[in-house]
Structure formats: structure tokens, C-alpha cells
Amino acid sequence: MLHIALEAVAAACAVTRSAQQAREAFGSLTKDDRSPVTVADYAAQAIVAMTLKERLQNPAECALVGEEDSGDLTKDDAKLTREGVVRLVRTFRQGVEEEEVLEAIDSGADQGTGEAYWTLDPVDGTKGFLRGQQFAVALARVEQGKVRLGVMGCPGLPVDQATTTDVPDPGGVIYAAVEGQGAWEYADCDPNVDPMRISCDIWSADRPLRYCGSVEKAHGSVSDAGRLIESLGGGTRVAVDSQCKYAIVARGQADAYLRMPKNAEYVEKIWDHGAGSIIATESGAKVSDIHGRPLDFGHGRVLKANSGVIVAVPGLHEKLIDGIRELGLGPAPSA
């Protein structure tokens, strides 16, 4: 399944990257500034779903919890966007019909209640995509409530860690992990290259702490994250869109990724954390919610048993969880 997931994500990376590069043309065509990411979202989900169905063949193995459905796409006022999606999919699958594309998109309607399924975020990091910066294609395999396999394409993330993430790399990188088999990096988003094993950094209190957070403030409490870091002596915040933050910790470029909940009502979606969580875990990092509990993917399309997400290298993770408790940050743990 790893090879099939790599194939699907690599194809989706190529398609979404081309849509990102042509985002101004798409926006001009449809008079909608968000249309490029809309087209890319739908096209990527269709391509991943088609690849899984074709390569796995057994329908029971293809259950997909995807972020998108074709409801809005089939409306009369979405004609131009719908045509753009089909054209984009045809760059990878020549001759595919509109009906096939819509059917593939809707195959992501699984509710995640079975013993095993895939979960996909076809374009994670909408604002990063629209700014021409970082986004990710994230695909994970969940079995019995736990992520067993994850593949995450980061089409603009530089392989060279000395290069700023603000400037997208033309090649990008894919990260992949299978439970118990480590985390691996595929340069240039090419699943056929020899991958390099990655591992998280070793925590040292003697150097400045480096932590990742979302560019968009709506994704979490920046103030709570700041208070937590200050309680440990301060640190440098790297703002990056999408699950690329998981990869940045996994490959040793940062010590932590904090996603502090803004309120008790917000519940994380499984596609926002499936692939990234296993890649970080297999690199040696620790992943939990803000109370130190493992992420529980056994509750359908949301992580309703968890609150927020903390990803950090060993040694630091424990300090972060202790700090959250001592400062009284976030909602209280549920029973």
C-alpha cells in the first residue's frame, strides 16, 4: 500500500503544483480569487481516489474519508470551475469524462466508521497555496483507530534545510512512513528515487527553542502557544502553512509544532493530522493532544477524543505537556 500511496500523492503533487503556478489565470477565468485552490482541491482528490481504486481493485480497501465532495461543483454557477477541474485531471488521465471525475471526488464520502480507511486532505494549507507558498497533499491509512501509514507531499518545501520556507522550491519533497519502519524523504516529489531516512532532532535546553505554528491565527491560540514557550525560556516561531510543520519537526529543522485550541468547541479533522502524525512519530518525535493523550482516529471524521495537538522531540514534549497543565492552558481534559 505504501507504493500505491506514493504514486497517488506524487501525481496529486504534480497537478496541484501546476494549478498553483497558474493560479492567476484560473482566478481571472472564473472571477474568483479562491478558484485556483478549489480546482486543485477537487482535482487532487479525484486523482488520488482514481489511483487507489485502480491499483487496489478491492473496493473494501479503497474506503476514503476525503475533505471534498462534488455538491457545490455540480451547481450551474460552478460550470467554469467544474470545467477547470476536469481539464486539470486530464493532464494526468487523458480522456477522463466529467462524470468519472465527479464520481471519484464523491468516493471520499466515507465516514470513517469502518475498521480501515484512507483519509485525504488534497490541498492542506489553502492560504499558503494562494500566496504561492507552502501547502501539502496528505494521505493516511487508518486501521482500527490508528494511523498505520502516511504519505505527505510538500510540493514547495525545500529539501535544503538552510533554505527559507518562504520561497517555494520547484522540486519539493514527499515524506512517507509506515508504522514501525521509520520515516523517509523523497526528493523532488519523486517516489522512484532512493529515499533518505529522516529523524527528529535531539532536544537541548542549551540552545534556543525552535517551534512551528500556523500562519493563520484562526487555526489555534497563538497567545497560549507564546505563553507556553516563554515559560520555557522563549524561542523562535516559524510560521508555516499546512502539515508541512510535521515534516519540519520530523526532519530535525524544528523542535516542536504547537496547535493550541482556541476554544473547547473546536474539534480537529482527521485529514489535517493523519499523514503528518505518523511521519513525525516514526522520525522519533512524540505526538499527542495538549493533555498528552495519543491522537485517537477511531471516532469518524473528527478527533473528538482530543484537544489540540503537540508535536515535539523527546524531552521537550514532556516539558510542554507539564507547562500546559501548570499554566492552565486550553480546555480541561474530558473524562
Catalytic residue chosen out of the listed positions 30, 41, 106, 121: 41
Map residue 94 onto helix, strand or coil: coil
- Nearest 5°: CA angle at 49, between 11 and 118? 105
Q: Does residue 41 carry a catalytic annotation?
A: yes
**Which of 94, 10, 106 has its CA nearest to residue 49?**
106
Any bridge partners for residue 197, and if so which? 184
User: Distance (Å, rounded) from C-alpha 40 to C-alpha 89?
Assistant: 9
User: Distance (Å, rounded) from C-alpha 273 to C-alpha 220?
Assistant: 14
Task: Give alpha helix (H) positions in 135-221.
Answer: none
**Which of 146, 166, 164, 319 has its CA nearest to residue 230?**
319
**Which of 248, 152, 178 has its CA nearest to residue 1?**
178
Q: Does residue 113 carry a catalytic annotation?
A: no
Catalytic residue chosen out of the listed positions 74, 110, 126, 188: 126
Q: Which residues are catalytic?
A: 41, 126
